[in-house]
Homo-oligomer: A and B are copies of this chain.
Amino acid sequence: MPYYIGDVIRKAEDLIARTPGQFAGSNIDVFTGKAVESIDTEGGRVKTSDGAAVPYDNLVIATGNRAIRPDIPGAYLPGVFVLKDLSDAIAIKRWLVEKGCRRAVIVGAGFIGVELSEGFRRRGLETTMLHRGRLPVARFDDELSRAVRDELVKNGVSFVERASVTAVEGGSGDELRVVTEDREYAADIVVFGVGVKPETTLAREAGIAIGPSGAVKVNFSQRTNREEIYAVGDCAEAYHRVRKDWVNIPLGDIANKQGRVAGANLGGSPRTFPGIVGGQSFKVFGLEAAATGIDEREALTCGYSPATHLMWGTFRTPTLEGEANMGIKLVADRSTGRLLGAQGISNVGAVSRINTLSVCLWTAMTLDEIGYLDLAYSPPYGGAWDIIHRAAQRLLRDL
């Protein structure tokens, strides 16, 4: 596929430049290149980097999160990146082109690292992934994580387990060397994908309450402990309907919904945010990976009595649309029979199953009920008993 990187960069930069203009003629003033330095909650003003004080009746904190750069030498060298927002993406792409990169090192094997490795491989880069753990995508069961690792390796990613990065060093010219406890890896570009932290400095300094997750504490209308101040998105907590607890899960769909809830309340249409169940998906080359709810460790922490079963199987007639091979793991509570979580990896169909099961979690459905759900059966897409029926019935026998 053609990949006009120059065009992509120009389009993205153009998008950023045009943003303020899109609000021209409305009542909305948009300022860019102007950092908020503090919130004066008593005076109802925010102070900006150019010394101005902007008054507010209501304030929405949407400061997002920041990608973590580990506290090691060389973490900020030119050619060393994180991937959090559009400007990071632009910077990475520009570096790839300008330096004619051929070797990439990705530090971390979460879903950002995994997705990025596909992008690098598609551009033909030698790609090495250094991971401090044994298997990628920690949220998943080891058996499913192994399938992800095998898919990475099959597609030419050199996956290094138990790699502890201690420094990045500049080499001759633009060459970088990523140093681990065991050896060094030469690279033309290095990207850290080792997690994110909610960006709460402004809120914290203004005395706004922070929840146990480290993100801004909000209620169902997205208000903070100060009624006139809202917080939304990656910097804020969200109610988890399975944990029955407040968490910080930085995903764009949650941020969008919270933003709309805050906006509705600000605009005078009361609305509450109904919470999340932890649905998430990503693509790793030829595989769909998706998960929802909680795993057995989290379930124990919450006070549930988890039982789990992991099943491999197909769910459609292979003669029609080709094989569908899926690993699906369910977690349920022994005391109530309710589903608590699900994970799926498949060449096709995993996201679909996890979405269906997310609605089951949303309504606190039992395995017994899931085993008899009416789904849109036909052989190219599912069996008379779909794999989620079978997985639910199978785990139910263990409860």
Which of A's residues lie within 8 Å of B, judged by CB? 241, 251-257, 273-283, 288, 290-292, 320-321, 351-352, 354-356, 358-360, 362-363, 365, 369, 372-378, 380-382, 384-385
Contact = CB atoms under 8 A, between A and B. Distances in A.
Nearest to A322: B1
B274 A372 contact: yes
B376 A281 contact: yes
A376 B363 contact: no
Given A355-B355, A359-B359, 7 more contacts: A252-B377, A253-B374, A257-B372, A280-B376, A281-B378, A351-B352, A359-B360
A37 to B, nearest CB: 30
Q: Which 6 A-B pairs have the closest CB atoms?
A: A352-B352, A281-B376, A253-B377, A359-B359, A279-B376, A276-B374
A377 B251 CA distance: 8
A273 B372 CA distance: 8
Contacts of A320: 283
Most B Cβ at <10 Å: residue of A254, A363, A365: A363
6 contacts: A280-B376, A281-B377, A283-B381, A351-B382, A352-B355, A356-B356
Given A283-B320, A384-B253, A384-B256, A359 B376 contact: no
B360 A376 contact: no
A256 B381 contact: no
Nearest to A281: B376
A358 B279 CA distance: 18
A279 B279 CA distance: 23
Contacts of A363: 359, 363, 365
Contacts of A356: 352, 355-356, 358-359
Contacts of A254: 374
A378 B375 CA distance: 23
B256 A376 contact: no
A275 B373 CA distance: 8
A141 B380 CA distance: 23
B291 A378 contact: no
A261 to B, nearest CB: 8
Nearest to A360: B359
B372 A355 contact: no
A376 B292 contact: yes
Contacts of A359: 356, 359-360, 363, 365, 373
A369 B277 CA distance: 13
Contacts of A376: 279-281, 290-292, 351, 354-355, 358
A384 B255 CA distance: 9
A280 B372 contact: no
Contacts of A377: 251-253, 279-281
A385 to B, nearest CB: 6
Contacts of A281: 376-378, 381-382
Nearest to A254: B374
Nearest to A276: B374
A4 B43 CA distance: 81
Contacts of A321: 283
Contacts of A278: 374
A130 to B, nearest CB: 24
Nearest to A352: B352
A174 to B, nearest CB: 28
A268 to B, nearest CB: 17
Contact of A283 (B283, B351, B378): B378
